[in-house]
Structure 1
Amino acid sequence: MSQEPNNLTRRSFLTRTAGAGMVLGAPGLLKAADPQSKDTLHVALIGFGKQGEVLFNCLRNIPGLHFQAVCDISDWNRKKGMNQVRALQGEIPKGYVDIDEMLATEKGLDAVVIATPDFWHSPHTVKCLEAGLNVYCEKMMSNTIDGARAMVHAAEKSGKLCQIGHQRRSNPRYRYTKDVLINDKKICGQITNINAQWNRSLGASQDIGGEKLSKSIIVPDEVLNKYGFKDMHQFMNWRTYTELSGGPISDLGAHQIDIFGWFLNDAKPTAVYASGGNAYFKDREHFDNVMCIFDFDTPEGEVRAFYQVLTTTSAGGGFWESFMGTEATIKISEIAANSAIFREDGAPQWDDLVKKGYLKRKPAPPKPEASADAVASYASAAPEEFELPGGFNKPAHQPHLENFFAAVRGEATLNCDARHAFESEAPIYWVNPSALEKRRIDFTAEHLSV
């Protein structure tokens, strides 16, 4: 049996994931880090809104971290973060409205975790790198490609670590699928097409806030204006404004488009053609639905990758990515129930892979009855369906954060450093222009280079 890349054997994959739930089921049992220990990493949390809280709920499961400061322009968010840290550590961290004040005041910090709105990612990351801190920053890197470039330059000039939050790159299921099943076992044959989607329901896509917004959440106008927001609606719904974000294609699509080139062994697309519109949310600055096609040239041949993001319907199974090859298709998602492998009729049998535990065969679906409207001569035989092995019980972002702090300790390399993240994200910045201009954009070095 050949050696699997990156030590991700079937056995190690199953071993790593089998016990994950035991720790995660009782995070309160983790002992708070000793702030005086030389092995403790001192961390500041920058941005404690919804995503900041998601990340903290992962961070609290990682031993050896001491949360020293919380920075957020919202009193509500900042106090929420400080209280959650106090509940974990038994002491309340310092709270700051302004990042410059925090960087000038706090001593002994090792790293920051940034979960602010997209248009603040680049300024905050650059400031922290220049201050000598390691940075974990949520994706997208920035709302502009030049902002993303500045982050790469700052990381490489400072010599500090900068991990971008494309968390699928640290997900054991994704890494096993890419390294073992696709690259080593080559079960897909030649990948020719990729399909992916994130379809979000209308109910989950509504504006946040409005007249019923609690007074305790309100941020004073002078504070909002100082930090780039016109009003509370912009503050609560920044993802829908063109000056503050890239819209759904970057907010949701970037997670999955990142996987395209990664699974194709870091191939870069040669072109994009996109279409978008405001089918329902007529007053929003960004499209409420976008569809795009990326062209790739790989050593194995051409690949076309289709992606859609919808905010008006959840039909089609929510979010997933599908890698379609001549011998099999792998459908994968952060949700295990949405993941499966389909062997093409006529492709080599996988009995040996099933026997050794690489794959698990699913029961064959019932054969449909003959129908008068069926055109049998045009039909393909139904593919055989298999499961991906093992489970994954950790919160989705936790392995990526674990990888970051292991790298800070010198025990690992980053799974998604700033330069690799930029190479993945650069094509995404051209999707909205393609849709707005209704034209195909053929990529040049100027489009994609740092």
Structure 2
Amino acid sequence: MAILLPRREFIRQATAASVMLGAPGPFIQTNGSAAEKVVVGIMGTNGRGEALAQGFAKLPGAEVGYICDVDERAVAKGLKAVQSGGQKKAPKTTGDFRQILDDKSIDALVIAAPDHWHAPAAILALKAGKNVYVEKPCSHNPREGEWLVQAAQKYKKVVQMGNQRRSWPKVVEAINMVKEGAIGRAYFAKAWYANTRVSIGHGKPAPVPAGFNFDLWQGPAPRREYRDNIHPYNWHWFWHWGTGELLNNGTHFIDLCRWGLEVDYPTEVNSVGGRYAFEDDWETPDTQLTNFAFANRKSISWEGRSCNGRNVEGISGGVDFYGEKGTMAIQGNGYTLYDNKNKELKKVSGDSNQITASGPGFDMDVDHFANFRDAIRTGIRPVSSIEDANKSVLLCQLGNIAHRVGHSLSCDPATGRIKNDPDAMKLWGREYDPAWQPVV
């Protein structure tokens, strides 16, 4: 039975298909006719996963078949999110995502678990014949990113990263204007993010909470004892499991910078900063200034302030592009174009729900979800294929590596690999729990 879509949805799909069918990319095995539902399993529903569960439940032509989390309380959140999305059929529940991979009725795994799980779970899903929607960052370290790209190409499935600004209509319009010369030759992009995160204190060893499978939560990461300031969110600020603010929020904005400047890999990366706001267990920088230089006289800068919420240009996170003839400022799903004397030439506001702790509202996510659905059903190349998305993630990872080793990195502009720096290359990968060593 064919699924009738609202007119706005139909027009968007038709436009995307006409553009994307001719785009280069790996051959992707599709899952049948465009009239069939794409059934997904959601892995991780303690934060962003709630929005994903609600979004895929609400998306025409999609269905949430599983809610999975190692924390029983998060499973309940996921079920409630699916219900609020309007899905009448209750999804199955599990505490182990491998049950989703074994179920032949599931088309895709949607991953919103902690960062150290993103690439290992995605690789296992691809090997099981599933498509993958993985939240940013797509990997915990550069080697995992390389493995994930290899796996997507080997198993010929769709892998889309959750950098949904790639699908926000007004952002797409602004980026296209930059590429088409609205500000002349664009040569510099500045990105930023500011928040008012509080201290996480000094954690103490504690019993694992009831209903929380801490062993499976750690998964690929070598085992550490449970402490009372790790779960459910503060793992972001420990190198063992997380990747810091540069990848937590910087990925979104640096991805836009790279996209608009049309650059891939840098020649040089430097980063300064540290844990400045508080003295506690937080390991990653709460204040970080990172710069990326490229071979074609272009550069990107990032300013991250996790614990001081002073806005830049009136917004907590955004991107400015600077060119020979002017500036393009992207704010949310909107933009402002200036000439080189700071005169406002054009201002466009995009209607959207307010961004919350779990991410943007459905109206901002829907195009990205729909693109993933359509890539599975019809074989179009996703707007954020893993081959491209991983380049943006790698930039952020190089910034963290430069911070951790305390000096600038020289990189191969053809591959992004660090040159002649054994100390930095020690951070290219990580050790794994033997039971979870990723294998492509």
Task: Give the shorter-chain TM-score range.
Answer: 0.7 to 0.9
- Which residue of the partner structure matches residue 387 of structure 1? 347
- Which residue of the partner structure matches residue 155 of structure 2? 158
CA contact (8 A) 1:261 1:267 kept: yes
CA contact (8 A) 1:427 1:448 kept: no
Larger-gyration structure (1/2): 1
CA contact (8 A) 2:54 2:81 kept: no
Q: 1:312 aligns with which of 307, 313, 324?
A: 307
Q: Which deviations, in whole Å up to 9, do the C-alpha atoms of 1:393-426 show, x marking residues without a partner?
A: 6533322111111111116320111111122222
TM-score (norm 1): 0.75
| Cα distance in 1, alignment partners of residues 160 and 275 from structure 2 | 33
2:320 counterpart letter in structure 1: S
- Which residue of the partner structure matches residue 364 of structure 1? none
Gaps of at least 5 residues in structure 2 are 1-7, 13-33, 354-361, 419-427, 429-440
Count of residue correspondences:
370
- 1:143 correspondence with 2:111: no
- Which residue of the partner structure matches residue 414 of structure 1? 382
- 1:426 correspondence with 2:394: yes
CA contact (8 A) 1:426 1:448 kept: no
- Which residue of the partner structure matches residue 256 of structure 1? 253
Q: 1:193 aligns with which of 181, 188, 191?
A: 188
Q: Which deviations, in whole Å up to 9, do the C-alpha atoms of 1:31-76 show, x marking residues without a partner?
A: xxxxxx9612211111111100122232233112121111110001
| Cα distance in 2, alignment partners of residues 208 and 51 from structure 1 | 24
Structure 1 residue 187: deviation in Å? 1.5
| Cα distance in 1, alignment partners of residues 37 and 382 from structure 2 | 19
| Cα distance in 1, alignment partners of residues 189 and 219 from structure 2 | 43
Query: Structure 1 pair 426/78, CA: closer, same or farther in 2 (3 Å)?
Result: same
Please identify which structure carries the higher helix content. Answer: 1
Query: Structure 1 pair 149/42, CA: closer, same or farther in 2 (3 Å)?
Result: same
| Cα distance in 1, alignment partners of residues 199 and 405 from structure 2 | 27
CA contact (8 A) 1:340 1:387 kept: yes
Matches within 5 A, 1:114-263: 114-179=111-176, 181-184=177-180, 186-201=181-196, 204-207=197-200, 219=212, 230-231=225-226, 232-236=228-232, 237-263=234-260
Query: Structure 1 pair 93/58, CA: closer, same or farther in 2 (3 Å)?
Result: closer
Gaps of at least 5 residues in structure 1 are 1-11, 17-36, 346-381
2:302 counterpart letter in structure 1: Y
| Cα distance in 1, alignment partners of residues 195 and 319 from structure 2 | 15
Q: 1:39 aligns with which of 36, 39, 43?
A: 36
TM-score (norm 2): 0.76
Q: RMSD in angstroms over aligned alpha carbons?
A: 3.0
CA contact (8 A) 1:199 1:310 kept: yes
What is the SS of the residue equivalent to 1:396?
A: helix
- 1:71 correspondence with 2:64: no
Query: Structure 1 pair 89/295, CA: closer, same or farther in 2 (3 Å)?
Result: same
- 1:273 correspondence with 2:270: yes
Q: 2:292 aligns with which of 279, 291, 294?
A: 294
Structure 1 residue 79: deviation in Å? 2.2
- Which residue of the partner structure matches residue 371 of structure 1? none
- Tell me which of the two structures has the higher relative contact order, counting C-alpha pairs closer than 8 angstroms and 6 or more residues apart: 2
Structure 1 residue 134: deviation in Å? 0.7
CA contact (8 A) 2:190 2:257 kept: no
2:285 counterpart letter in structure 1: F
